[in-house]
Amino acid sequence: MHIPDGYLSPQTYVPMFGAAAPFWVIALGKIKKTVKETYIPYIAMSAVFSFLIMMFNIPIPGGTTGHAIGAGLIALLLGPWAAVISVSIVLIIQAFVFGDGGITAIGANCFNMAVVMPFVSLWVFKLISGREYSAWRFKLGAFLAGYIGLFVAAVFTAVQLGIQPLIAKSPEGTPLYSPYPLEVALPVMALEHLLLFGIIEGLITMVILGYFYKNERETIYAIKNY
């Protein structure tokens, strides 16, 4: 899902930096005010976890790759603002050090994976799980939080790629950036994440959140902050 350099026009990647920047600023402020020092190692470990699972990239048609992210799980455990920071740090390191995702696309990649996914995942979990604990609702909510969160992030990515042939082309009509129109990028990204990567993400979220519920339920943000 990492968008590489050369696939987004300046008309897209510049506004995406502008869209992500307020979330970075707000997230840093909220973490300084609300996160206890004892929880800082958890944020660091969440970044390491996200980094590891994102390294398993599988190329897919449409000019991008698919993988699990872990942003939904981090949002449920530590809160969406912690997820914004930890996943953004991972994406920035991957872009500068490993060439995984473009430097010009950092804003877009962070918005899709570190902003959209955590908040969508948290909302889905709260909607499904309800206020009173039920084992099946908890498991279903955790699975769908990861599954739907990843899917929505993939759709945002597909739209950003798919509009490039419309907004950036040569006088002859040749696309200057991503050559795949919406009718290609959107169904490919949607299907790949609905049928494969979303299921993986959902299972990871459900299993690990279940472990924390059994052993450290008092630390789970999604339960403490209904």
Domain assignment present for residue 63? The answer is yes
Strand partners, 175: 169
Total structural domains in the chain? 1
Find the mean pLDDT for residues 177-205. Answer: 91
Reported pTM: 0.91
Domain assignment present for residue 74? The answer is yes
**Could you report the per-residue pLDDT of 114-135, keeping only the tens digit for each?**
999 999 999 999 999 877 778 8
- What is the enclosing helix (H) or strand (E) of 42? helix 40-54
Number of neighbours of residue 178 by Cβ within 10 angstroms: 25
**Could you report the per-residue pLDDT of 59-112, keeping only the tens digit for each?**
766 556 678 899 999 999 999 999 999 999 999 999 999 888 899 999 999 999
Range(s) of the domain holding residue 101: 10-224
What's the CATH number where 16 sits? 1.10.1760.20
Domain assignment present for residue 4? The answer is no
Domain assignment present for residue 5? The answer is no
Domain assignment present for residue 208? The answer is yes
Give the confidence band of 173 by pLDDT, cuts at 50, 70, 90: confident
Find the mean pLDDT for residues 187-195. Answer: 89
Place of tokens 């990871």: 204
